[in-house]
Structure 1
Amino acid sequence: MDLYYIQGILLLAGINLMAVLGLSLLTGFTGLFSFGHAGFMAIGGYASAMMTVKYGWPFIPALLMGALAAALVSAIIGKLTLNLKGDYFCIATLGFGEAIRLVLDNVQYFGGARGWPGIPNYTNLTNVVIINVVAVIILANLIRSRHGRNMIAVREEELASQIVGINVFKYKLISLMISAAYAGIAGGLMAHYMTFLQPKMFSLVKSTELTIIVIFGGLGSISGSVLGALVLTSLPEILRSFSNWRLVIYGLSVIIIMISRPEGLMGGYEFTPSSMKRLLTRLKNKREDLPSQMEGGKPL
C-alpha cells in the first residue's frame, strides 16, 4: 500500500478524531446526544478558510477563528435548545445541522452549492498529530477537573446535580461550546486538507458518522474515541477491494460490535500508565496462580 495513501487515511482519521473528541465530551461525559456536529464543522471550515483566503491569515490563527465562530454559534443554539428535555435537543441539533448546510448552499460569497475551490493546503500529518495530542491533553485535564466531574454528574443524574448546587444549564452550555470549538477546528483542518469546501460535505451523514464513532469507541472514554476514529475511518479504505459491498460490510461490522459489546470497544475505560500497570499485574498474577489451580495436570 502506498505510503502517501496511508498518510491520507491517517490524516482523515486525525481530522475525524478532532470532531469526535468534542462530541465525546458532549455525549459521552455530559449525556447530550447531538446530530448537528457537521454543522459546527462547516462553520469552522468556512470561517478558517475565509481567514486564510480572503484576509491572508496564518493557518493556526485561522483555525482558532474557526473554533471561536463555531463556539459562538453553539452558544446561541444552546441558549435556545438546552432546556429541551429527552430527545428534543437531539432533534433540534439535527435541524440546526441541516439548516447550516442549506444556508451555505445559497451563500454565493463562499461559492454556494458549487463549492469553494482554491483553499491553501496547510494541513499535514505533523500538525494534525500535534493538534490531536494537545486536544486530548486538554480534554483529559478538563474531565479530571471539578468542571469535568460536574459534567459527569449532570450525565448521571440531572436532578440530583441541581439539588447539590450544580448549575446544570451552565455546564451543558460549556460542554456544548467546547465540543463545537473542537468540531470547528476539525472543519478548518478538513478545509485546508481538501483545498475545497462544499456544503454537502457536512450533511446529516457526517454527523451520524461522528456519533457512531463515539458510541463505537465507548461512551465516556477518550481512549475509545481515539480507537474508534482510527478503526472506523480506516475500515472503509481497508475494505475498498470489495467495491460496492464495502459499505455493507462496514455497516455489518459496526452492528456486530454494537450487539456483542454495547458499551463500546473501551466501555468507559482509559489507556493510562496506571491502568496499563494494573492490567499487566493482573495478567502476571493469573500466570502465577495457574500452576496452583492444576492437580495432576488437570484443572480442579
Structure 2
Amino acid sequence: MEYLLHLLILVGIYVMLSQSLNLSAGFGGMISLAHAGFYGVGAYTAALLSVNYHLPFLMTLPVAMLLSGLLALIVSAIALRTIDDYFIICTLGIQVIVFSLMNNWMSLTRGPLGIPGIPEIQLFGIAIESKWAFLLLTFIFVALIFFFLKKLTGSSFGRTLRGLREDEIFAQSLGKNVYLSKVIAFTAGAMIAAIPGVLYAHYISYIDPTSFTVDESIFILSIVIIGGMQNLWGSVLAAAFLVLLPEALRFVGMPNAIAANMRQIIYGGILIFTMFRYSKGFVSKV
C-alpha cells in the first residue's frame, strides 16, 4: 500500500509538470527542453532555504516560484526573438547550463553529492509525515493548478495564445501583442513547474542533479505530446500511464537492467506512434 501511495504521489508531480509545460508548449506553441531546469530550480530553492535557513514550506514555495519565473522571464525575453527551431535550441542550452550549475557549484548545491536532510513539510504547525497526508497535499495542488489553467486558457488571454499558436501574423493583425503573450505564458509555466519541484524535494528529503537532466525535460514533453497539446485532461491520463508503465514490467518478471532499457524503448515507440497516428495526442483519442 505504501508503494502504491508513492506511485500516486509521483503521478501527481508529473501531472503538474506536464500541465505547466502544456501552457507554454501546448497552448502557446513554445516547445521547451528546459522544463526540468525550472523544476530543479524549485527543488533546489526549497532544499537550500529549508536546510540552511530553516524557512517553512509556505515561505520557500513562493520564493522558488519567483526564482524559476525570473529565470524563465530572462530566457524567454531573449529566446523568443528567434524563430521556433532556434527557440528549442536556446531552451536546450539553458537546460544544459542549469544542470551544469547544479552539478558543479559545490559550495552551493554540493554538486553530485546532492542535498540531504530536507525536512518534512509543516503546515500551520502540522507535520505532513505520512504518505496519505502527502498524497492529499499533492492532489490539492494538482487540482488548484488544473482549475487555474482551465480558467486561464479559457480566458481572452488563452484565446490569444491559441490564436498566435495557429497564426502569429493574423494574431498581430488583430492588435495582439504576440511577444508579450508568449513571455507571460512561458514565465507562468516555469513558475508552476517550481511547485512540484518544491514538493518533490520535501517528499524525497534528498535531491541531486540527476533528477533534473535533459532526459527529464524530454520525458515531461513526451507526456504533453502523448496526452495531447492543449489537452489538460490528456496530461493527467498520459502522466499516470507513463509513470505506472514501468511497474507493469516488474510484474512480468523482467530483470531490472533489461526493464530500464525496455522502458525507454516503449516510451520512444509510443511517442513515435502518437506523432504519426494521432497528431493531437494519443490519449485524446482513447
TM over 0.5: yes
1:204 has 2:214 as partner: yes
Counterparts of 2:156 and 2:266, CA distance in 1: 42
Question: Residue 150 of structure 2 aligns with which residue?
Answer: 140
Q: Whole-Å Cα distance in 1 between the matches of residues 104 and 177 of structure 2?
A: 39
How far has the Cα of 1:60 moved from its partner?
3.0
Larger radius of gyration: 1
Give the conservation status (yes or no) of the 8 Å contact 2:224–2:235.
Answer: yes
Q: One-letter code of the match for 2:5?
A: Q
Structure 1 residue 120 corresponds to structure 2 residue 119: yes
* Aligned residue pairs, count: 267
Q: Secondary structure at the match of 1:116?
A: coil
Identity %: 34
Matched residue SS, 1:8: helix
Confirm or deny that 1:233 pairs with 2:234: no
Identify if the C-alpha distance between structure 1 residues 55 and 165 changes in structure 2 by more than 3 Å, giving closer, same or farther. Answer: same
Q: Distance in 2 between matches of 1:58 and 1:107?
A: 24
Unaligned runs of 5+ residues in structure 2 are 122-127, 129-133
SS in 2 for 1:224: helix
How far, CA to CA, are the matches of 1:252 and 1:31 in structure 2? Answer: 23
**For residue 230 of structure 2, what is the amino acid of its counterpart?**
G
**8 Å contact 2:20–2:190 — kept in the other structure?**
yes
What is the aligned partner in structure 2 of residue 295 from structure 1? none
Q: Secondary structure at the match of 1:87?
A: helix
- Amino acid of the structure 2 residue aligned with 1:43: V
1:264 is the counterpart of 2:281: yes
| TM-score for both structures, normalised by structure 1 | 0.85
Aligned to 2:65: 67
Counterpart in 1 of 2:125?
none
Q: How much is the aligned-residue C-alpha RMSD, in angstroms?
A: 1.7
Partners in 2 of 1:252 and 1:266 — Cα distance?
15
- After TM superposition, the score normalised by the length of structure 2 is 0.88
Give the distance between the partners of 2:119 and 2:41, measured in 1 at CA: 18
CA drift at 1:253: 4.0
C-alpha change, 1:150 and 1:20, in structure 2 (3 Å) is same
Amino acid corresponding to residue 226 of structure 1 in structure 2: V
After TM superposition, the structure 1 = structure 2 runs for residues 69-218 of structure 1, keeping only pairs within 5 Å, are 69-108=67-106, 109-122=108-121, 124-218=134-228
2:254 alignment counterpart: 242
- What is the Cα deviation at residue 61 of structure 1? 2.7
CA positional deviation for 1:259 = 3.9
Q: Is the CA contact 2:226–2:274 (under 8 Å) kept in the aligned structure 1?
A: yes
- Secondary structure of the 2:240 match is helix
The separation in 1 between residues aligned to 2:67 and 2:82, in whole angstroms, is 24
AA paired with 2:225?
Answer: I
CA distance in 1, matches of 2:207, 2:53: 17
**Worse overlay, 109-118 or 167-176:** 109-118
